[in-house]
Amino acid sequence: MKAQRDVWGQTLVDLARSDNRVVLVDGDLATSTKADLFADAFPDRFFEIGIAEQNMVGVAFGLSTLGYRPWLSTFGVFLTHRALDPIRMLVSQTGAPVKIAASYAGLLNGSSGKTHQDIEDLAIMRAMPGMTVIAPADAAEAEAAIRWAAGYDGPVYLRLARDAVADVFDPGHAFNPGAVHVLREGSDAILVSTGVQTSRVMDAAELLTEQGLEVRVLHVPCLKPVDEAALLSALSGSAPIFTIEEHSIIGGLGGLVSELVTSTTLGKTVTRLGLADSWSESAPNAYLLDKYGLSAQRVAEQVRHALADD
Amino acid sequence: MSNTNATRTSTAELQQLAAAGRWHVVETVAKSKAGHIGGPLSAMDLLVSLYFNELAIDPQQPQDPARDRFILSKGHCAIGLYAVLALRGYFPLEELATFDQGGSRLQGHPDMKLTPGVDSSSGSLGQGLSAGAGIAMAAKQLGAGFHTWVMLGDGELEEGMVWEAVHTARRFKLDNLTAIIDLNGLQQYGWPVTEDGDRFDRSNPWAGVDLEGVFDGFGWNVVSINGHEFNEIQAAFDQVRAARCSGKPTVILAKTTKGKGISFAEGTYKWHNGVATPEQLAIAAAELGQAFEGEAK
Ligand SMILES: Cc1ncc(C[n+]2csc(CCOP(=O)(O)OP(=O)(O)O)c2C)c(N)n1
Ligand SMILES: [Mg+2]
C-alpha cells in the first residue's frame, strides 16, 4: 500500500534514466508532490517555473516542440482551473505531448479545503478534445499509467491522489488505455468507479456481501478514451447501475456512464454518487468520506437503501 | 542551417514588401468579410524586416530544426503574418484568398498544425511569450543556436501570464529569446483619454506607466525604436544579436501607429477590425501604390 504521489516521482526518475525526452516542469510544489526526487536525480531536467501555472503550461508546450515530453507537476486544481486556457490552446488544440500530472486531485488533499479540492477536473478535462484522461486506482496502476503516458505522443491528464489506499492491482499491473476492469462479479447491482475511489468501492462490495448482496464492480481508469463496447457489455443485464467517484456527480464518471447508457437501448437508470453539486470543506479524510458518502460504509449503505427501495 | 538572407534586402525593397503586405491584409479581409486590420498594419514593417532580413529560415523547409522561431502571440493579427509568409514564399499569394474560409490552411488565428511557417498556435492573448520561453529553454538545453522571437500587442501586455513569462525568461537567462512589443497605443476598445473625454479618443493602455523601466526592472535588455523606421528596426536586431551572451532576454519596444499606411485606418481603435468598402479599398490601393481593379476580387 503506497501512495500514488510516492510512486510518481520515483517512476519518473526511472523513466528519465532511459528516456532523455522526460523533463519535469514544477510549480513550486515539488516537496508536496514528491517531484523533488526528480529534482535531486536530474537537476538539469527539472524546470522550476515558480508559482505561475499558466506560464508553466506554455513553457512545457514550448519544450515539447523540440522533442521533449514534459511532465507538468503541481496541485491539479491549479492546472485544470488556473491554467485551463493554455492547456486548451497550446496543449489540447495542438496535440502536444505534454503530460499533466495533477497531484492532490479529488477531495482528499491533506485538509486543505475547497480551494484545493479538485472535484471538477474529470468533467473539465473530459470535455477537451484529444485529451487522454486517466484516474488510476492505486499506486500500481498509477505507475503503469505514468509509464504508458511517457511513451504516448500526445497530451495526457493524469489524476493522482495524495494519500494511499488499499491496493486494487498487483505490482506490475499493465495499463491499457480505454480498458474497463471487472474487479468483482455479482448480480444485485453494478458499481462503477474510477480513481482511488475504486479501492473503497471494493471494500463496500465486501460489506454488501456480508449483508447478502453480491455486486459487480467495474473500474474505469481511463475516462477518455474508453472502450465503449466493453463498458456497455459490463453495464448490461438487469442489475441497477451506480457510479461512484471522488468528484462532482456532474460530468465525470457519472456523466460518462449516463451519456453512454442513454445513447443505447439499454433502458436503465444510473444512480450517481459523489459530490452532489456542492463545495466541500477542510476536514480529515475519514470525515470527508463519511460526510460526502464515499467511505466503504456509506457507499454500501446507499446501494443497500436504493436496492431496498426498488 | 544556412541563413538564406545572406544578402540584405534593401530599405526600398522592404518598403515595397510592406506596402504589398498591407494591401494583402485589407484586400483579403474585405474578401472574407471579416478580420483584423489595425494590428496587422502596425506590425507590418517589423514583420517584413524579420522575415526578409533577420530570421534564419528556409520556406522550403519550414520544419528545419535549426530554424529561428517566430511566434505571433497577438494571434488576431494572423492575416498580417500570412501575407508576409506568402510574400516570403511559404505558400502562394493566391492562397490568401482562402483565409477564414472552410477547409483553409489559413485559420482566423494561427494554427501550427495547418500553416507552414507557423511555429506556435495563438489567438488567446498572453500565451506566446511562455511558449517562446519554453522553446528558448529547450534550445539552451540542446545546445541549439537558433533564436526565438515573440511578437506581442500592447493591449496583450495586460494579461498576467505575460509577466509570469517575463520573470521566467530572466530567471533562466534566456538571451536567445526576444520579445517585440507592437506599441500601437490602442487595443480593441480600452479606455477614454479622460473621464469626460471623447468616446472615440482612446487612451494608450500604458499611459502613465514606464514600460522601459518595467522591463529594465525585470532585468531585460530594453531597446526602444520607431517600429516603422527600417534602419531603427535593423539596428534593434543587431543589438539583439550583440546581447546573445548577456544572460538577458531582450525586449524591443516598437512604437507604431495602429492601422499604419492607410489614412482612414490610422490611429483609431475603430479599425482594430473592419471590412473596407470598395471606395475605401480604392483609397487604400492608391495610398499603398497597389493596382486595384475596382472590386474586392
Ligand atoms: C485572452 C484574450 N482575451 C481577449 C481577446 C479578444 N481580443 C482580440 S484582439 C484584442 C485587443 C488586442 O490589443 P493589442 O494587443 O494592443 O493588439 P493590436 O493593437 O496590435 O491589434 C482583444 C481584446 C483575445 N483574443 N484573447
Ligand atoms: Mg495595440
A15 has pLDDT over 80: yes
- B162-183 confidence digits (pLDDT tens): 999 999 999 999 999 999 999 9
Ligand nearest to the CA of B39: 1
Measured between alpha carbons, how far is B30 from B90 in angstroms, rounded to an integer? 23
User: What's the confidence (pLDDT) of residue A110?
Assistant: 86
Q: Is some CB atom of chain A closer than 8 A to the CB atom of B131?
A: yes
Q: Is some CB atom of chain B closer than 8 A to the CB atom of A16?
A: no
**Residue B133 to residue A52, Cβ atoms within 8 A:** no
User: What's the confidence (pLDDT) of residue B294?
Assistant: 75
Q: Is some CB atom of chain A closer than 8 A to the CB atom of B143?
A: no
Distance, in angstroms, between A46 CA and closest chain B CA? 11
Cell of B148: 526565438
The Å distance, Cα A177 to ligand 1 centre, comes to 39
Give residue B2's pLDDT band: very low, low, confident or very high (50, 70, 90): very low
Rg of the Cα atoms in chain A: 19
Ligand nearest to the CA of B123: 1
Minimum CA–CA partner of A68 in chain B: B138
Contact criterion met (CB below 8 Å) for B35 and B79: yes
The Å distance, Cα B267 to ligand 1 centre, comes to 16
Query: Is residue B107 domain-resident?
Result: yes
Cβ of residue B155 lying under 6 Å from some atom of ligand 1: yes
User: Closest by alpha carbon to B41, among B182, B179, B158?
Assistant: B182
In this prediction, residues A58-78 reach a mean pLDDT of 98
Q: Is some CB atom of chain A closer than 8 A to the CB atom of B65?
A: yes
Distance, in angstroms, between B104 CA and closest chain A CA? 17
In this prediction, residues A64-89 reach a mean pLDDT of 98
Residue-level length of chain B: 297
Measured between alpha carbons, how far is A216 from A235 in angstroms, rounded to an integer? 9
Q: Is some CB atom of chain B closer than 8 A to the CB atom of A92?
A: no
User: Closest by alpha carbon to B204, among B153, B161, B140?
Assistant: B153
- Phi, psi (deg, nearest 5) at residue A247: -170, 165
In this prediction, residues B231-237 reach a mean pLDDT of 98
User: What's the confidence (pLDDT) of residue A117?
Assistant: 96
User: Closest by alpha carbon to A123, among A106, A109, A137, A111?
Assistant: A106
**Going edge to edge, which strands form the sheet with A69-75?**
A46-48, A22-26, A69-75, A99-103, A156-159, A132-134, A222-224
Please identify which residue in the block is written with the cell numbers 499603398: B288
Residues of A catalogued as catalytic: 53
Measured between alpha carbons, how far is A260 from A282 in angstroms, rounded to an integer? 34
Q: Is some CB atom of chain B closer than 8 A to the CB atom of A130?
A: no
Find the domain containing B23 and state its range. 11-288
Measured between alpha carbons, how far is A186 from A192 in angstroms, rounded to an integer? 13
Measured between alpha carbons, how far is A249 from B98 in angstroms, rounded to an integer? 44
In this prediction, residues A106-126 reach a mean pLDDT of 95
B199 has pLDDT over 80: no
Q: What is the percentage of chain A residues whose pLDDT exceeds 70? A: 100
B295 has pLDDT over 80: no
Measured between alpha carbons, how far is A286 from A295 in angstroms, rounded to an integer? 7
What residues of chain A lie within 8 A of the CB of B135, using their CB?
62-63, 65-66
**Residue B167 to residue A52, Cβ atoms within 8 A:** yes
Cell of B271: 479599425
B198 has pLDDT over 80: no
**Residue B164 to residue A64, Cβ atoms within 8 A:** no
- B264-277 confidence digits (pLDDT tens): 999 999 999 999 99
CATH of A4-159, one of 3.20.20.140, 3.40.50.970, 1.20.1440.130, 3.30.230.10: 3.40.50.970
Measured between alpha carbons, how far is B256 from A294 in angstroms, rounded to an integer? 60
Measured between alpha carbons, how far is A276 from A119 in angstroms, rounded to an integer? 10
**Residue A52 to residue B144, Cβ atoms within 8 A:** no
- B28-57 confidence digits (pLDDT tens): 999 999 999 999 999 999 999 999 999 999
Give residue A77's pLDDT band: very low, low, confident or very high (50, 70, 90): very high
Bridge-based pairing of strands A222-224 and A132-134 is antiparallel
Higher-pLDDT residue of A193 and A112 is: A193
SS (H, E, C) chain B: CCCCCCCCCCHHHHHHHHHHHHHHHHHHHHHHCCCECHHHHHHHHHHHHHHHHHCCCCCCCCCCCCCCEEEECCHHHHHHHHHHHHHHCCCCHHHHHHCCCCCCCCCCCCCCCCCCCCCCCCCCCCCHHHHHHHHHHHHHHHCCCCCEEEEEECCHHHCHHHHHHHHHHHHCCCCCEEEEEEECCCCCCCCECCCCCCCCCECCCCCCCCHHHHHHHCCCEEEEEECCCHHHHHHHHHHHHHCCCCCCCEEEEEECCCCCCCHHHCCCHHHCECCCCHHHHHHHHHHHCCCCCCCCC
**Residue A66 to residue B144, Cβ atoms within 8 A:** yes
- A219-229 confidence digits (pLDDT tens): 999 999 999 99
Model ipTM?
0.94
Q: If you write DSSP's letter for every residue of A62-89 in order, what string do you get?
A: HHHTTT-EEEEEEEHHIIIIITHHHIII
A186 has pLDDT over 60: yes
B195 has pLDDT over 80: no
Tell me how far CA of residue B289 lies from CA of A263, B11, B15, B97, B284, in angstroms: 60, 16, 11, 20, 8
The Å distance, Cα B188 to ligand 1 centre, comes to 6
Per CATH, A4-159 and A181-309 having the same topology is answered yes
CATH at B120? 3.40.50.970
Burial B30-51 (b: 16+ CB within 10 A, else e): bbbeebbbbbbbbbbbbbbbbb
Q: Is some CB atom of chain B closer than 8 A to the CB atom of A88?
A: yes
Structural domain tally of chain B?
A: 1
User: What's the confidence (pLDDT) of residue B192?
Assistant: 86
Q: Which atom of ligand 1 is nearest to the CA of B205?
A: 16
Measured between alpha carbons, how far is A25 from A209 in angstroms, rounded to an integer? 46
Q: Which of B112, B130, B142 sits opposite A59 (nearest CB)?
A: B130
Could you tell me which residues are beta bridge partners of residue A189?
Answer: A215
Query: pTM of the full predicted structure?
Result: 0.95
Q: Which atom of ligand 1 is nearest to the CA of B153?
A: 15
Residue type present at position B154? D
Q: Which of A63, A89, A90 sits opposite B137 (nearest CB)?
A: A63
Measured between alpha carbons, how far is A129 from A309 in angstroms, rounded to an integer? 39
Cell of B111: 494554427
Best A24, A66, A72, A94 member to test B by mutation, with max B CBs in 10 Å, is: A66
B278 has pLDDT over 90: yes
Give residue B4's pLDDT band: very low, low, confident or very high (50, 70, 90): very low
The Å distance, Cα B208 to ligand 1 centre, comes to 21
Tell me how far CA of residue B280 lies from CA of A71, B42, B263, in angstroms: 51, 18, 10
User: Quick check: helix, strand or coil at residue A242?
Assistant: strand
Ligand nearest to the CA of B43: 1
Going from N- to C-terminal start, the domains of chain A cover 4-159, 181-309
Residue-level length of chain A: 310
User: What's the confidence (pLDDT) of residue B139?
Assistant: 98
Best B168, B177, B218 member to test A by mutation, with max A CBs in 10 Å, is: B168
Measured between alpha carbons, how far is A50 from B167 in angstroms, rounded to an integer? 10
Query: Is residue B111 domain-resident?
Result: yes
**Residue A62 to residue B160, Cβ atoms within 8 A:** no
**Residue A59 to residue B122, Cβ atoms within 8 A:** no
Query: Is residue B182 domain-resident?
Result: yes
A171 has pLDDT over 50: yes
Cβ of residue B273 lying under 6 Å from some atom of ligand 1: no
CATH number of A181-309: 3.40.50.920
**Residue A86 to residue B127, Cβ atoms within 8 A:** yes
Eight-class DSSP state of A274: E
Query: Is residue B30 domain-resident?
Result: yes
Minimum CA–CA partner of B171 in chain A: A49
Q: Which atom of ligand 1 is nearest to the CA of B126?
A: 1
- A292 Cβ contact partners less than 8 Å away, ≥ 6 residues apart: A107, A274, A275, A280
